[in-house]
């Protein structure tokens, strides 16, 4: 992935023009560092992916799923 592609993905995380201007002026090394940080923290994931991760983590930690949660997961799978 090129630095410009990383810049586009980073600038898309937040809507503000100030953020987009900061990203445009970042040195290449900083772009890489921010990109890796966002990648690790999950800022590039979609809302559906984040919800799936949350459910998986809750299941691993012994969270007992409610009937509503169970039915919702079943309807999402279809």
Per-residue pLDDT tens digits for 38-78: 999 888 877 677 677 777 877 777 767 678 887 887 787 76
Q: Output the six-digit token pair for 21.
A: 């201007």
Residues 34 and 10: beta-carbon distance below 8 Å: yes
Instruction: Give me the residue spans of the domains in the chain.
Output: 3-41, 47-77
Distance of CA 5 to the CA centre of its chain: 16
The residues near 37 (Cβ < 8 Å, ≥ 6 apart) are none
pTM of the model: 0.58
| b/e sequence 3-39, b meaning 16+ C-beta within 10 Å | eeebbebbbeeeeeeeebeebeebeeeebeebbeebe
């Amino acid at each position: 992935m090129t630095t410009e592609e990383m810049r586009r993905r980073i600038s898309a995380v937040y809507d503000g023009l100030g953020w987009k201007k900061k990203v445009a002026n970042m040195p290449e090394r900083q772009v890489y560092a921010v990109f890796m940080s966002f990648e690790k923290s999950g800022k590039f994931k979609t809302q559906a992916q984040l919800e799936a991760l949350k459910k998986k983590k809750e299941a691993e930690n012994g969270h007992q799923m409610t009937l509503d949660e169970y039915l919702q997961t079943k309807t999402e799978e279809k």
